Structure 1
Amino acid sequence: MTVHYCCTDVACGRAWLTEEAAGLRCPNGHFYPFAAGSQVPVFACEEEGSNEYAIENAAEIHDNALRWVFRTFHTDEATLRKSLIGRLKLAKGQTILVTGAGAGNDLPYLAEVLNAGVVYAQDIALPMLMSAVERHGNALSNSDVEVFFSASDASNLPFQNNQFDAAYHFGGINLFPDVGRGIAEMDRVVKPGGRIVICDEGIAPWIRSTEVGKILLNNNPLYAYEAPLASLPAMATNVNLSWELSGCFYVIDYVVSKTEPNIDIDVPHIGRRGGTMRTRYFGVLEGIDPALKARIYAEAEKRGVSRVAFIEQLLGRDEVQS
């Protein structure tokens, strides 16, 4: 096993981990054990029995729920997963992160597209993750795609910055304690130019108030969630919002960028007001007598200059006199 994990303790500055017989250790002594009978490192996991994903037969329960979903929306698993994975625009040999991987149902479809490459599958529910290892670990290891599993918190990923070519999440992000943090972590570990795809329950606005929309919401409150566009990083580019499964599952895909939006806030306005976006935002004067304000505006117009230019001229003259 080649170790490509880092310490999740903030004080360690994401130090690389080294492998020992029973787990992974960071240079500062933090230790992350392997799950029993495996080489799956456990960075964090939900308490056993705390929810339906943290019990022994969690994968079987989830399989049953998925079968209901596909029958309800008149589709099949392969069609949906291939449609979502297609938005990643993967190339042979790339390295991809799957957060909330669950029982690993997406892994064979990812391997098919990658042909050769590396997949990291992460989930905080250890029983679900170990089902993924049992179901897909050997199958993928016999292909040209390497797969690494870890039990970890998607809001504190055990990976370095810019480690992946893409990141993918299908189902579960609605229930993250901090959705924005979960998306920010995916964004952090994906290289600039890489793609992120996120999908979960959320009825499209034009369906929400219809009778069928109300029936869906009554059946499963998760359909009330809206696509978390406000939680995307400010530097996200090429953002797309679409829906799958008859408009009942939102899909967000975007390209990762590490640079600020290319907006010049110092371009001067031409006209009475003058100034720039920056000066109009930061240069607001408070407590000015309305009559004095009107006199200033009138004088500026008389002189044929903008209000901002006139005030700046006055301030410049006062500085010279002082």
Structure 2
Amino acid sequence: MVHLNRNATCGTNEPNQEDMPHVPMTPQDVLAALEQRFPDLSPELQRAARWVQQHSAALGLQSMRTSAREAGVAPTTMARLAQALGFQGFEALRQPFRQALAQAAVHDGSFSARARALQRGGSSVERLQEAQGANVQSWVHLNTTLALDEAADRILSGNQVLFLGLRASHGIAHHLHYTSQLLRDRVRLAHDGAGAMEDQVADLRPGDLLVAVSQAPYTRRTVELAQHAHDAGVPVLALTDHAWSPLARLARQTLLFTADSPSFFQSMTGAQALAEALVSRMVTRGGADVLDRLAQRQAQLQVQRTYWEKPLRKAPT
């Protein structure tokens, strides 16, 4: 259990312990507390907080000194950040993330086993609706507004952007690619024609961006391609279902969603909702360049008569 340190002292711009809410006990609680308290933190603590928001999996895996070095702050700053959130020290701050790593379920049974269990026990429509609703809302609870905006800026500012998603995640990557190419140029969707996907990733440079989408059970090839990009110094933006997924550990930044479902296959509603939210933030933050690009693309679509224009009629009964 995490205990509040009532004797800790706080410097200028750091919250007073007497004003502390309950100490966060889950990774989601910690991230929510960081966003809530971010404006009151000193600039140095804000730098540490940004690192925690973007590298929560690493926080549970490595020491305070290593985390501080990657965040570009002194080790004592990480300890002060923990105290500002109501924790006794850095190790107490790490504990929720370490527990989450230990409890992570990679995939609870094969598809066929889950299908057999579904046939035996059944699953009500209400349960499915509840799970889907929670997944749709998950991007709000698992990602800070700051993180979402930083991800949108990455896609807008990358020299070229490659979207990668295989198997069930391909549809999410395709949606991100299609909507993003309406807003900016030099965006591509990774495809496997003639085994060219590895070549597409190899063409990326450090000024580019790989946006990779995956959820449990994680497609091995997606992780391997993200590893190739990471090793080449190409920043990876991961959209995935756990901060401790193999994809998140390779990412410069991670955005999270949930994929829970009482059915035999994981739900895609959370990933789709996150993708739509991300594109919406791109429009909001893209300024005149995005508006000009969108106007050009819309004019092209009209010239090409892409969309059905005849009056809609009720189908005969």
Structure 1 or 2, whichever has the larger Rg, is 1
TM-score (normalizing by structure 1): 0.28
**Which of the two has greater strand per residue?**
1
**Which of the two has greater helix per residue?**
2
